[in-house]
Amino acid sequence: MASFPKRVLRAALLQADIYEEVEADAGAGRQALLVVLLSSAAVGIGGVANSGAEGILVQIVCAVIGWWTWAYATYFIGTKLLPTPATSADPGQLLRTMGFAGAPGILRIVMLVPALAFPAWIVGTLWELVAMVVAVRQALDYDSTLRAIVVAAIGFPVYAITLLASVLFLGPWPI
């Protein structure tokens, strides 16, 4: 088994085999949660100039809620509404893979540099969304990336609502 930092790097580099690895590793749940915490803390720390120290905690809470609800929504959509004959997954597998898909979000720590705040937020968020598609494809055993995109996109509003809630709570942010 690879070390935690190597797993995070491989997940950020969108290596499909790392998502298969954490899907199969029932003990990787804590690591997946740690990735979510690191990614959300990076947003909170990066946006501290706009949101203050309380923004770090708000981002962490909203991200964990969003991750958990998006993973369960994705599980339902992917296994009940849009499965393929090869689809076989349990909620834990989705939680682990989608947790590691948060790895690119750690880049958002760069938001500490005011001139880079908005670009870092956009790049980190979009990169994280692409990683979510890879995670969904691997966890749900899809042959089609398009199917993974559809499943992730249907579930994305659940996650987006938690992001919106954090922005509304903290005020105009991260711009």
Token pair for residue 86? Answer: 């090869």
Q: Where are the domains of the chain?
A: 4-170
Alpha-helix runs per DSSP H in the chain: 4-12, 16-24, 29-46, 48-51, 54-76, 91-100, 117-139, 145-170
Three-class secondary structure assignment of 29-80: HHHHHHHHHHHHHHHHHHCHHHHCCHHHHHHHHHHHHHHHHHHHHHHHHHHH
Rounded to whole angstroms, how far apart are CA atoms 132 and 70? 10
Q: pLDDT by residue for the chain (175 residues), tens digit each?
A: 579 999 999 999 999 999 999 999 999 999 999 999 999 888 888 877 777 787 788 878 887 888 888 888 999 999 999 999 999 899 999 999 999 999 999 998 998 898 998 898 889 888 988 999 999 999 999 999 999 999 999 888 877 777 667 666 665 544 4
